[in-house]
Structure 1
Amino acid sequence: MTQVSERLVRLLNMVPYFQAHPQISHEEAAAELGVTRKQLLADLNQLWMCGLPGGGPGDLIDLDFDGDNIEVIFSAGMDRALRLTSPEATGILVALRALLDVPGMVDPEAARSAIAKIESAAGSTLAVDDPTPAESASAAAVRAATRTAKALSLEYHSASHDAVSTRTVDPIRVVLVGDNSYLEAWCRAAEGVRLFRFDRIVSAQVLDEPSNPPEPAVAAEPDTSLFDADPALPSATLLIDRSASWMFDYYPLRVVRELPGGAFEAAMTYASDAWMSRFVLGFGSAVRVLEPAALAARVRESAVAALHAYEDG
C-alpha cells in the first residue's frame, strides 16, 4: 500500500487534475496517477467525503464517478491555490523535518524538496541544529518495495532471540508505533503478518517478483499486539538505575513505578531465560532482576561464574 504522505498529496491534487481533464475515464486516470483502479476508487470515495467545515452536503466535494468517466460537480474550493500563514508554514516544516528523522516514512528527497519550496515561499528558513542523516540503503529498499508492491529479502536481527535471520516477505505498509517505524509484511516462513523494526533490518533486497500478501492481511488494521504484554511469554520485573533509563527508548519496557532518585521498576517480556540472563548481565549493576526468582538466581549464578573465570585466569 502507498504511504499516507503519498496518498495525501495525490488527494490534494485530484480535484484540479479532474477539472483539467473533464470526463476522463477510470483507466486513463489510474494510469496517469500511477495507481490501480481499485486504489483510484478508494481515493474517489475518500475525496467524496471531504470538504469545508460544516460537513453538510453543500459543503462537501461532489464528484460523479459512477459511470465510465469522472467529473467534478463541486470543488469546495480545492481548485484554489493553498495559502499558508507563517505559523502554518512553520508547523508543516517542523512536521516534515520530524518525518525525515523516522526511517522509511517518506521519500527523503521529496521531503527535502518540499521543505525548500515552503521555506522559499515563506521567505525564511527554520533553523535546525543538525543536518538530517542520509537514508540507509535498507530503508530505501523497504520503502521502494512497499511503493512498487515487490517482495523483499530481509536480514533481520531479532531482539528476543539475539539472532539474525534471513526471510522473504511481502510488504503491506510502513507504520509508525511510538517513536519507531516498522515494516508490516507477510512473512512467508512464518505464514503470518509480522512487524519489522527499521533499525533492526540489517539489509534488504528488492526481489524481481510481486508482493502478494493475502487479502485479509492487507485489509486488516496493523497488529501492534507485539507491543503489549503477551500472556504466553514470561515477564520479568527489573530494577533499572537512572544511568540506564535510556533503555526505555530501545527496548519494549513498561514502567511499573518510578522510584526516588530516578530509578524505575519496569516489566519486560522475553522469549527465553538464557537470552534474558545475557541481556541483564550486559548492563552490569545498572539493571537487576527482581522477579521471577528463578531468573534472578540464573543471572546471579552466571555473574559468579564469570568472576570465578577471571580469578582462575
Structure 2
Amino acid sequence: MSTPETATARLTRLLTMVPWLVNRQGIDTEQAAAELGITVEQLDTDLRLLYLCGYGQMPDELIDAQWENGRVFVTNADTIARPLRLGRDEALTLMVGLRALAAVPGLGERDAIERAMAKLEEATGASAEAAARVEVAISEGVEAGLLSDARRAVEGHRRVHLRYLVPSRDESTERDVDPMRVVNLDAKWYLEGWCHRAQDTRLFRMDRIEALEVLDVDGTPPPQAELRDLDAGTFTPRADDTLVTLRLGQGAAWVADYYPVETVETAPDGTSLTVTLRTADTLWLRRLVWRLGGHGTVVAPAELAASVTEGATAALAAYGVEPATGAGG
C-alpha cells in the first residue's frame, strides 16, 4: 500500500506546476505528467483543483484550466508568477523569528541572519522599530553554555556524558549519549541522541540535564539510530512498549485528551471510558493512577494493576486507612 501524499507535498507540486504549465501551453497530458513525475490521473485531479483556485471568488479571478483532447491549457494565472510582497504583520513576524534564531547560543551562520535582518529593516522601516521592542527569550530555562556545548557536540560528532534527572523516578542518572540533533519544540529545548544506557534513541529535555560533558570520543550514532518524527509531539510510542488498558470514571475522562491514547471506548451508560496506551516506563503511569484518586483503574496488564494496588495499600496503611477492594485503582 502506497503512503498517502501529504498536503504540504501536494501544495509544493501545485505551486511549481502552474508557472510550468503556463509556459508550455498546449502540452500533451501524458508528456506533462511524465515530466512532472506524476500519473495522468493525478494530473487530472490537480487540474480539477486548480480550476477552483485564484486570488478571489469571481470567475475572472480564478485560474482557467482546460485539458480536453489530450492537451493542457492554463490561463489567468499570471498573479501566481508575480513576486509576493510581505505585509507589515508578515514582515514583523519574520523579523521576530530571525531575532529568536539569532538568540540561539552556539548557532553558526549568524552573518546570513544579520544580512536578512538588515534587508527587512531597510524595506519595512517602522516594522523594524516594532521588532526591536520585542524581547526574545528562546533559551529560557536552559543555560547558554549547556546549549552551546550540546550544539558543538552535534556538529563535531562528539559523544557526551550526561547527568540527567528522571522526574518519574525522582532520580539522577548517568549516561553516555551520541548526539544527533538539538531541537526546540513547544518552547522547550531537547537533545536527541543514541543513549548507550538504553541502547536506543532517546529525547532529553535540556532543562533536566544537570551536567553535560563533551568527551573526546567519536559520537557517531550506530546505523540503527533513527530520528523521531516530532510532528505529533515529543512522545512517540513504540510497537514494543507496554500496552496498558485503563478504565476512567467521569472525574478522570480528561486523561483521554491529555495523553496519546490509542483507543477510546465509552461505556453504554456513558459513565466511564476504557482507553489503551503504550509506554516504555510504567512508573509515571502508576503515579497517574494514584493521583486519580479512585477515578482510574488499571485493567491490564495484571502485574501493573497489582503493583498499583500494592503501592496504594501501603500509602493508605501509613495513614491508618483501610483500603477499599478493587485491583489497580
Residue in structure 2 matched with residue 302 of structure 1 by the alignment: 311
The DSSP-based 3-state class of the residue aligned with 1:302 is: helix
Give the drift of 1:152: 1.2
**What's the TM-score, normalizing by structure 1?**
0.50
The one-letter amino acid paired with 2:193 is A
- The partner residue of 2:227 within 222, 227, 233 is 222
Q: How does 1:190-269 map to 2 (within 5 A)?
A: 190=198, 192-199=199-206, 201-214=208-221, 216=223, 222-224=227-229, 227-237=236-246, 239=248, 245=254, 253-254=260-261, 256-257=263-264, 266-269=275-278
Give the drift of 1:150: 2.7
Give the drift of 1:288: 1.2
The one-letter amino acid paired with 1:299 is V
Residue in structure 2 matched with residue 86 of structure 1 by the alignment: 88
Is 1:169 equivalent to 2:177 in the alignment?
A: yes
C-alpha distance in 2 between matches for 1:182 and 1:280? 27
Provide closer, same or farther for how the CA distance between residues 234 and 257 of structure 1 changes in structure 2, counting only shifts above 3 A. closer
The one-letter amino acid paired with 2:285 is M
Give the drift of 1:224: 4.5
Give the drift of 1:287: 5.7
Residue in structure 1 matched with residue 147 of structure 2 by the alignment: 139
C-alpha distance in 2 between matches for 1:228 and 1:236? 15
The DSSP-based 3-state class of the residue aligned with 2:308 is: helix
The one-letter amino acid paired with 1:90 is L
The one-letter amino acid paired with 1:141 is D
Provide closer, same or farther for how the CA distance between residues 230 and 94 of structure 1 changes in structure 2, counting only shifts above 3 A. farther
C-alpha distance in 2 between matches for 1:187 and 1:241? 39
Give the drift of 1:227: 0.8
Report if the CA contact (8 A) 2:158-2:178 is conserved: yes
The one-letter amino acid paired with 1:172 is M
The DSSP-based 3-state class of the residue aligned with 1:216 is: coil
The one-letter amino acid paired with 2:320 is E
Q: Percent identity?
A: 25
The one-letter amino acid paired with 1:86 is R
Residue in structure 2 matched with residue 149 of structure 1 by the alignment: 157
Give the drift of 1:145: 1.9
Residue in structure 2 matched with residue 185 of structure 1 by the alignment: 193
Report if the CA contact (8 A) 2:247-2:298 is conserved: yes
Is 1:277 equivalent to 2:286 in the alignment?
A: yes
* Root-mean-square deviation (Å): 5.3
Report if the CA contact (8 A) 1:156-1:164 is conserved: yes
C-alpha distance in 1 between matches for 2:314 and 2:307? 10
C-alpha distance in 2 between matches for 1:130 and 1:246? 35
Report if the CA contact (8 A) 1:154-1:204 is conserved: yes
Give the drift of 1:310: 1.1
C-alpha distance in 2 between matches for 1:310 and 1:110? 63
Structure 2 stretches lacking a partner, 5+ long: 1-15, 24-83, 322-329
**What's the TM-score, normalizing by structure 2?**
0.48
Report if the CA contact (8 A) 1:162-1:275 is conserved: no
Q: How many residues align?
A: 229
The one-letter amino acid paired with 2:180 is I
Give the drift of 1:172: 2.0
Provide closer, same or farther for how the CA distance between residues 221 and 232 of structure 1 changes in structure 2, counting only shifts above 3 A. closer
The one-letter amino acid paired with 1:157 is L
C-alpha distance in 1 between matches for 2:299 and 2:245? 6
C-alpha distance in 2 between matches for 1:157 and 1:95? 31
Provide closer, same or farther for how the CA distance between residues 132 and 223 of structure 1 changes in structure 2, counting only shifts above 3 A. closer
Q: How does 1:12-161 map to 2 (within 5 A)?
A: 54=19, 84-93=86-95, 95-96=97-98, 120-121=121-122, 122=124, 123-124=126-127, 125=130, 132=137, 134-135=139-140, 136-137=142-143, 138-158=146-166
Provide closer, same or farther for how the CA distance between residues 292 and 132 of structure 1 changes in structure 2, counting only shifts above 3 A. same
Structure 1 stretches lacking a partner, 5+ long: 1-50, 59-81
